[in-house]
Amino acid sequence: MYANPNSIINPSLWPNGPAPGCFFKFPGTNVTSTSSNSGIITRTQSPVTTGTSILGLVFDGGVMLAGDMLGSYGSMAKFRSIERIVKVNNATVLGATGDIADFQHLKAIIEQKVIDEDCADDGFTLKPKALHTWLTRVLYNRRSKFDPLWNTFLVAGIEDGEPYLGCVDKIGTAFSDSKIATGYGAHIALPLMREALEKKPQMTKEEARALLISCLRVLFYRDCRALNKHQIATITKEGVTIENNIELDTNWEVANFVIGYE
């Protein structure tokens, strides 16, 4: 049954095409076999629909996450209402950069976890640091099998009364900080966030929101895969609020100064 597709007994349907009874090697996928004599294909190692940066900031009394609502299909702005920041429970929020399919897969698993917890009804709820640690283990294990989930996650929440912000990337590098940005945000927005936090380490909620919006604006100017429609999530002791569909005001007056290229 697992004969050579080019053999006469099991001819392939078209040249280099699928053969009945055999695994078909899709062009463009990387075949990594876990054992030497299996041609089993693991999932693709290149992302398809992706989300760009997510920004996270700790302020006085809570954490704020911001990100745009775009799912890019390569260079096409295909899905313009993707929620990349989701509420996990009343104390935790998860944001994701990278492959949307992998994010949705993990989101479903996490939602099931929350439901199971509800059913257990023992008074314990998933804490942000616990979710962060669990995500780290999952991502590292997948990477160790050469089949990564192509995402960078930001976990934000209130852990034992204190604001918590943590990040894990697709190879399992995990850390927590008071300001984190993933994707292009790390190069463009993080310098702005670091400068502002150095001047005032304990920001108010309004200042944090203004800073994140100005960072999102710069990202919209300078990141090709960004959109001017955003989500902002605020987590405080009172709970979680996620505002969707926030439009940015942008200033294109600079265009008046550009004539020619010399």
Partner 1 sequence: MASTKVVNIPKGGFSFENCQRNNFMANQGFPAPKAVKTGTTIAGFIFKDGVILGADTRATEGNIVADKNCFKLHYMAPNIYCAGAGTAADLEMTTLQMSSQLELHRLNTGRQVKVATATRLLKQMLFRYQGHIGAALVLGGIDSTGPHVCCIYPHGSTDSLPFVAMGSGSLAAMAFLEAGWKPDMELADAKVLMRNAICGGIFNDLMSGSHVDLCVITREKAEMIRPFEVANVKGERQGSYRYPRGCTATLSTRVIPIEIESTVVRPVAEESMDTA
What single DSSP character describes residue 247?
E
* Least distance to partner 1, CB of residue 194, Å: 7
State the burial class of residue 1 (Cβ atoms within 10 Å of its Cβ: 0-12, 13-18, 19+). Answer: exposed
260 touches partner 1 (CB under 8 A): yes
Q: Would you list the DSSP string of 42-105?
A: PPPSS-SEEE--EEEEEETTEEEEEEE--EEETTEEEES----EEEEETTEEEEEEEEHHHHHH
Selected range binding partner 1 among 8-16, 27-35, 61-69, 184-192, rule: CB under 8 A: 184-192
**Of 140 and 220, which has the nearer Cβ to partner 1?**
220
Instruction: Output the DSSP codes for 153-166.
Output: EEEEEEETTEEEEE
Shortest distance (Å) from residue 33 CB to partner 1: 34
Quick one: which segment of 42-50, 136-144, 170-178, 188-196 binds partner 1 (CB under 8 A)? 188-196
By CB under 8 A, residue 177 contacts partner 1:
no
Looking only at residues 215 through 244 of this chain, which bind partner 1 when binding is defined by CB under 8 A?
215, 217-218, 221-222
Q: Which of 69, 190, 233, 235 binds partner 1 (CB under 8 A)?
A: 190
DSSP reduced 3-state for 260: coil
* Residue 187 interacts with partner 1 (CB under 8 A): yes or no: yes
Residue whose token pair is 């997948």: 142
Q: Closer to partner 1 at the Cβ: 116 or 253?
A: 253
Q: Mark whether 44 is an active-site residue.
A: yes
Catalytic residue among 29, 32, 34, 44: 44
Q: What are phi and psi of 136, to 5 degrees?
A: -60, -45
Q: Rounded CA gap, 39 and 5, in Å? A: 13
Among residues 8 and 254, whose Cβ is nearest to partner 1? 254
Question: Which C-beta is closer to partner 1: that of 68 or that of 99?
Answer: 68
> To the nearest whole angstrom, how small is the minimum distance from the Cβ of residue 256 to partner 1?
8
- The span from the CA of 84 to the CA of 103, in Å, is 8
- The structure tokens 């010399």 sit at 262
Q: Does residue 195 touch partner 1 according to CB under 8 A?
A: yes
C-beta pairs of 249-255 under 8 Å, 24+ apart in sequence: 249/217, 250/217, 250/220, 250/221
Residues annotated as catalytic are 44
Contacts to partner 1 by CB under 8 A: 184, 187-192, 194-195, 214-215, 217-218, 221-222, 253-254, 257-262
